[in-house]
Amino acid sequence: MKTIKWGIIGCGAVCEVKSGPGFQQAENSGLVAVMRRDAEKAKDFAERHGVPKWYSDAHELINDPEVNAIYIATPPKFHLEYVRLAAPSGKPIYVEKPMGRNYAECLEMIEICESAGVPLFVAYYRQRLPYFLKVKSILDSGVIGTPTSLSLELFKSPKPNDNNPAQNWRVDPDVSGGGYFHDLASHQFDLLEFLFGEIESASGSSNSSLLANPAEDFVSATFKFSSGLVGTGNWNFAVNPDQVKDEMLIQGTKGSIRFGFFNGDIPIIVETDAGQEKYQVPYPPHVQQPLIQSIVDELRDEGKCPSSGRTASRANWVMDQVLGRI
């Protein structure tokens, strides 16, 4: 492919800044069509972002001859449905994260795309953000020695609509697969495997009684990597605002690294016998653009995208293990 001409299925909030402009600004890439079931919203998005075509029917976008790659940006409930529709077109597919509501859905998407000979990518974009590449380079440098343990804490205070799944699909397990744990921990587990290799086992406990929705509002987990490294995690989505926290701590034989997963303003802090060093590595304006560029490069035989259907399904496998689903 000379130029990757993208069509978006589900041009909602995530496409406004995080991803949509990234398709337009990546080299050898363009955004030529968008689709949303609400025709007025699809038209509005297209007009505001300078996209030449808009549709309210996914079939029309998939069959548009100008579109040669498809981005599925709907809630997780619809990912499998649209992969089934899009794969027979032979066009590469890029799916939002989490990849599916559960590991079984991920496996079906992989099988569909492999049978159709269609490349499948997933939006775990942290693997290409400079902030996390800096973390990886620090680990690879050996400055903190051999990692001996890691722990993460993600505490968030509830939003007003967290008690109303009809208004917030992220807390409706039928649509999202779970709650904020699925939405956010999926990013974390994917990045942890990027940094440390595969997680071979995981277990945990959860509570879904603190908020008036059916999703998990507290999760505690222990997980072990194939290397033998052990990690722990705690997620709480019902804390007071002054208890909000986003921190990852990696302990090593010569020092430690602290960083945040979801806020680029949190500095990367390295502590060793030599003292403390802080690194500020801001996120780019459109956080998915570096990963989008890697997809474009792979489709042009000029590079490799790190986030495939197979690597991305791992996050769902770990979450299902933590919640005792498999």
Dig out the tokens for 244 from the structure.
Answer: 């909000």
Query: CA distances (Å), 278 to each of 138, 266, 268, 281, in order?
Result: 12, 10, 6, 10
b/e sequence 113-144, b meaning 16+ C-beta within 10 Å: beebebbbbbbbbbbbbebbebbeebbeeebb
User: What single-letter amino acid sits at 185?
Assistant: A
User: What single-letter amino acid sits at 285?
Assistant: P
Residues 22 and 94 in one domain: yes
Residues 91 and 236 in one domain: no
| 154 three-class SS | strand
| 195 three-class SS | helix
- Going by their DSSP bridges, the two strands 4-9 and 255-259 should be labelled as unpaired
Residues 73 and 143 in one domain: no
b/e sequence 248-276, b meaning 16+ C-beta within 10 Å: bbbebeebbbbbbbeebebebebbeeeee
pLDDT of residue 173: 95
Give mean pLDDT in consecutive 10-residue pieces for the chain, a chain of 326 residues: 95 98 98 98 98 98 98 98 98 98 98 98 98 98 98 96 92 96 98 98 92 91 98 97 97 98 97 98 98 98 98 98 95
Domain with 62, as residue range(s), is 4-124+287-304
Supply the pTM of this predicted model. Answer: 0.97
pLDDT of residue 113: 98
Q: What does the DSSP 8-state code read for residue 267?
A: P
Q: From CA 217, how far away is CA 237, in angstroms rounded?
A: 5
Does the residue 312 lie in any domain?
no
Does the residue 309 lie in any domain?
no
pLDDT of residue 231: 98
Does the residue 318 lie in any domain?
no
